Amino acid sequence: MTPEAPVALITGATRGLGAAIAKELSSTHRIIVGGRSADSVMPALQAFPNALPLIADLADEEALATAFDRAMEVAGRLDVLVNNAGIGKKATIDETDRVQWRSVLETNLVAVADLTRIALPFLRESLGTIVMTNSGAGVRIYPSDAAYCVSKWALKAFTECLREQERGRVRVVSLHPGRIDTDMQVEMQAQAGRPYRPEEHMRPEDVARTVRLALDLPSSMNIDEIHLRTTEKK
């Protein structure tokens, strides 16, 4: 990877879809691996040439800003931001207390908005692209995933505001995948008391290829939204 290679920052890049996106882009981009702890980020760095760490709890405003500044001091540029990190918990509205609401909204919405804000000057300079990993829960209603669903609808609204604000400067893509074969999906199915069947889920590497598709379009074009669902019969 040459020093002039474009740089892609991917949050939640240590496992699941984030790791798959990092692998997909690593042949053409210098990867900044975003994760919560050094224990998870440092091993992931070994998979990618010249990769850089961004170690921070995204809900910690000061830690996130410091980690971002350090990464930019070394990388010197930013061409792609993939806001992929997110959390979810199976719970209806009456089962969700204020602490849980704050936790989910802080990670899935507020932290995304804050990282996007501090990254925008670099992305404007490079005429870059932002990819928001949303969910099928950002276009459909699932009462059993109340806080997660609300956070993803709010993220969709934020993404649409951002897209129109930055149109002509930064491309903004909203990715809405259905069920993906990841640790997070295993946990959510267990919370729901349902057996987990990997064959009923999309592979992370296949979903990552759609991010590549969005990035490889000519700069005069943008895929505003990508909606992915499995093909099994309901």
- Whether residue 137 is contained in a domain is answered as yes
Structural domain contains residue 226: no
Element (H, E) at 174: strand 171-177
Domain membership of residue 222 (yes or no) is no
Residue 221 lies in a domain: no
Q: Which amino acid, residue 193?
A: G
pLDDT band for position 202 (50/70/90)?
confident
Of 148, 173, 174, 211, which residue is the catalytic one?
148
pLDDT at position 197 is 73
Question: Which residues have C-beta within 8 Å of that of residue 90, sequence separation ≥ 6?
Answer: 144, 145, 188, 191, 192
What is the per-residue pLDDT across 13-59, written as a single tens digit (0 to 9) for each?
999 999 999 999 999 999 999 999 999 999 989 988 899 999 999 99
Identify the CATH number of the domain in which residue 91 sits: 3.40.50.720
pLDDT more than 90, % of the chain: 76
The number of domains in the chain is 1
Residue 79 within any structural domain of the chain: yes
Query: What residues make up the domain containing 60?
Result: 7-211
Active site residue 148: yes
What pTM value is reported for the model? 0.91
Residue 231: inside a domain, yes or no? no
Contacts of 152 (CB under 8 A, 6+ apart): 108, 134, 135, 137, 138
120-126, long-range: CB < 8 A, 24+ apart: 120/166, 120/170, 122/72, 122/77, 122/78, 123/78, 123/79, 123/81, 123/170, 124/166, 124/169, 124/170, 125/77, 126/6, 126/77, 126/78, 126/79
In a domain, 220, yes or no: no
